[in-house]
Amino acid sequence: MTAPGAAGRLLLCPTPIGNLGDCSPRVAEALLGAELVLCEDTRRTGKLLAHLAEEAGGVQRPPMRSLHDHNERGQVEGLVARMVAGARYAVCSDAGTPLVSDPGLALVRGCIEAGIEIEALPGPSAVLVALGVSGLATDRWRFVGFPARKGDALTDALLSAETTVAFEAPGRVGATMAAIAAIDPHRRVVVARELTKLHEEIVRGTAQELAARYADAAPKGEVTLVVEGVQAESDDEAAIAATERLVEAGARVKDAAAVVAELTGARANALYRSVLERR
């Protein structure tokens, strides 16, 4: 392990998700004091650094380098070597906390392997902001990033016993709500749009209601979804077991649940949830 002070440091710096006033003094100091700021989009981060530099009395901005999904792995070795030699770098994403559905993981792993100290500064996160305003359970929850585009993979990701938080492209919100509604029309969902920005909007309703709302009118801006978690209901174990056997034989969970529900009188939605929670 590298001795303290013998190597540089990597600072993970959360940036505002909309309101520049949400950048803490500590994060501002870390960004302006870094020898290099690694960011997704230098144009976007450049605006933030210009704002912070002006607020600090016109200090000089640090240089920036783009770090994204397509070039990160190729840069890790060189960046780590320079930090081992004493460099102090900062990582930030376009908005929110670094590494949360954003690049940076390969660099963090490289630093860990090399014994470089990593400091994560607290700050803005769309995930936590959306969860807080949702009104849904917060004692058990999970984050799934950008869910699959369609089919069982989409609903499997979003329908859980726990509250689920996900990012979604505005143009896909209607289809995603429709997919949830097809399985559980009464599941409560929150669509949080443009969080902390001038046009922030929090829309709450059932999956069925929101599917109708967004069917022909996609929301604008950045969207975070919060989906209610529902504990599996006490369906007959034999019905659940029968559904699982059909799935093991190759049937889709939704189709298997529908067939067993028709034969046994159990609720298809509850069977579907029960099987998913056991997988």
Q: Which residues contact 181 (CB under 8 A, 6 or more apart)?
A: 187, 206, 207, 208, 210, 211
CA angle (104 as vertex; 98, 109 as ends), nearest 5: 125
Q: What pLDDT score was predicted for residue 55?
A: 94
Q: Does residue 3 register a pLDDT over 60?
A: no
Segment 108-114 mean pLDDT: 96
DSSP letter string over 67-123?
--TTTHHHHHHHHHHHHHTT-EEEEE-SSBSTTSSSS-HHHHHHHHHHT-EEEEPP-
Residue 5's pLDDT is 46
Give the DSSP H or E segment for 29. helix 25-33
53-67, 200-214, 259-273: which has the minimum mean pLDDT? 259-273
Confidence band for 231, pLDDT divided at 50, 70 and 90: low
- What pLDDT, on the 0 to 100 scale, is given for residue 1? 36
What share of the chain has pLDDT > 70, as a percent? 96
Distances (CA, A) of 175 to 143, 155, 163, 212, 217: 20, 11, 20, 10, 11
Q: What is the pLDDT averaged over residues 3-21? A: 83
Top-level class of domain 127-227: alpha beta
188-225 tens-digit pLDDT: 999 999 999 999 999 999 999 999 999 999 999 999 99
> What is the structure's pLDDT at 230?
75
pTM: 0.77
175 pLDDT higher than 80: yes
Q: 160: pLDDT confidence band, cut at 50, 70 and 90?
A: confident
Residue boundaries of the structural domains of the chain:
9-124, 127-227, 237-278
Looking at residue 279, what is its pLDDT?
76
The predicted model gives 102-117 an average pLDDT of 95
Per the model's pLDDT, the better-predicted residue between 131 and 237 turns out to be 131
**pLDDT for the residue 2:** 40
What average pLDDT does the structure give for the chain?
Answer: 91
CATH, domain range 9-124: 3.40.1010.10
